[in-house]
Amino acid sequence: MDERHQPLPEARQTLFARTLTEWRTLAILGGPILIAQVAQMANGVIDTVMAGHASAKDLAAVGIGSSLWMPLFLFFMGMLGALQPIISGYNGARAFGKIMPATWQGLYLAGAGSVIMILLLTHVHPVLAILNLEANTARITQGYLDAFAWGVPALLLITALRGLTDGLGHTRVIMAFSVLSTLINLPMNYIFIYGKLGLPAMGGIGCGWATSISNGVAALALLVYLNRSRVYRHFHLMSDWVKPDLPGIRYILGIGVPIGFTIFVEASMFSVIALFLAPLGPVVVAGHQIALNVVSLLFMLPLSIGMALTLRVSFLVGAGAPDTARLISRSSLILAAATALVFALMLWAFSREISALYTRDTDVRDVTVRLLMFASIFQIADVIQVTCISALRGYKDTRIPMFIMLFSFWGLGLPLGYLLTFTDWLVPAMGAAGFWVGLTGGLASAGILLGWRLFLYAPGGGQVVAVTSSGDE
């Protein structure tokens, strides 16, 4: 076990010193996660900008294609995300012999997920017909997805192997290969989109090929690293191969499917809101998208802290240190609240300057400024709920939090937002701001319910269940 990344707690430390030590560990784990998240987001930005320079139809096609593959990927990403707390728990318990069997079951799930994603993405004609797209735009969209589908196995392979590297506390590994993928994607986009090096100009379709190639190269490089690096000499993929194990797969799915479904529900909710706002006109939609983009960028930091918290809590539970796990899960709420407050004040104070970075249209700016005021409060609720749910994932408690988030988003936040946006039932119709108020209310309820469950659940400790090659749990 590499104690530089996941140190064991020192019982002789004061409460304050232990808290600072745990926060430092979160920073060590979360920093590389943050860079990896930013690199992955940069890929989407690069695709959008470069496709937009090709033509408006190419930009539209890539945007539509991304909106189709992203929810599918987020579901499988969440499902495979169960590997991180599972392996981190084994690492803490020094149950090293259980790590590779769990990893291989995750790889089998990644393979099955790849088949499902490829079949769905290469047969989206009915969906495109429902959207009633112009013929050329539909052609480019399908071509983009067909090209993107070739890289799906590599994408899910990296996601599964992240469970191994992050679970061992080596979060810099995925950071490095995420940056590598971004660095490859940029020149590949240039070559395929605009037709360089003797290739025909493919426009938006070229984005799909560029993404597939960059993911493929990154996946191959990661495999070589894991099989050649001295750091992983005790976790060798090839020599530690195990056959598919149904009980082990069920265990991963039991933890991972609720995570994937939760992420899918959140992503789909924002898509639904965008559709609801469409009748309000392009100015309102543009302002809403800018506000959402800003919040999404700021959310990268608390999300990274949350992912690090999941790893740390599961490690401490596995190491037989439930008191320290309880300490870090609760004290992280203080860290999260402080971060959220700083971001909220930034949005409140610099809303006009932020809006000016995105657009010169004064009407769009005015809408954006107003929405950013509400988004600042939304930010606080969002950060608190992601911290609570991340800690619970560290305890491998995912099913009840899934239902809490489903209720908060679809049972409370979305209906309340709709009423505030379009009706005078509660207050005079607020326009797009109504959805931000509704979502804030939904996330606040999620934070309260998840926090309540966390404070009740933490003392119980969350038991580490073994995944073995024989299927015993």
Q: From first to last of the 473 residues of the chain, give the pLDDT tens digit.
A: 445 567 777 767 787 888 888 889 999 999 999 999 989 888 888 887 888 787 778 888 887 888 889 889 999 999 999 999 999 999 999 898 899 999 999 999 999 999 999 999 999 888 888 777 778 888 988 999 999 999 999 999 999 999 999 999 999 999 999 999 999 999 999 999 999 888 888 888 999 999 999 999 999 999 999 988 888 877 877 777 889 999 999 999 999 999 999 998 888 888 788 778 878 887 888 888 888 888 888 888 899 999 999 999 999 999 988 889 998 998 898 888 888 899 889 888 888 898 888 777 888 889 889 989 888 888 888 999 999 999 999 999 999 999 999 999 899 999 999 999 888 888 888 888 898 899 899 999 999 999 999 988 644 444 434 444 333 33
The model's pTM: 0.89
User: Which tokens is 110 given?
Assistant: 């990644």
Predicted confidence at residue 282, as pLDDT, reads 77
- 89 lies in a domain? yes
pLDDT at residue 457 in the model: 67
Say yes or no: 195 and 277 in one domain: no
Triad 52, 55, 57: Cα angle to 5°: 100
Does residue 360 sit in the same domain as residue 233? no
Residues 410, 447 within the same domain: yes
Residue 346 and residue 240 share a domain: no
CA distance 38 to 460: 35
112 CB-contact burial (10 Å; exposed 0-12 / middle 13-18 / buried 19+): middle
Asked if 290 and 395 sit in the same domain, the reply is yes
Looking at residue 11, its pLDDT comes to 66
The pLDDT, as a whole number, for residue 4 is 57
Does some domain include residue 461?
Answer: yes
Pair (277, 404) in one structural domain: yes
Instruction: Give the Cα separation of 174 and 30 in Å (integer).
Output: 12
Residue 3 lies in a domain: no
Number of domains forming the structure of the chain = 2
Same domain? For 365 and 342 the reply is: yes
Contacts 24+ apart (CB under 8 A), 19-23: 19/327, 19/328, 19/331, 22/312, 22/324, 22/327, 22/328, 22/331, 23/328, 23/331, 23/332, 23/335
- The range of the structural domain enclosing residue 440 comes to 257-473
| Contact in structure between 249 and 330 (CB atoms under 8 Å) | no
Task: Examine residue 240 and state whether it is found in any structural domain, yes or no.
Answer: yes
Among candidate residues 188, 209, 244, the one where a domain is terminated? 244
Question: Do 326 and 198 share a domain, yes or no?
Answer: no
Say yes or no: 236 and 366 in one domain.
no
Same domain, 455 and 409: yes
- Decide which of 244, 275, 304 is a domain's last residue: 244
Residues 222 and 290 in one domain: no
Residues 288 and 384 in one domain: yes
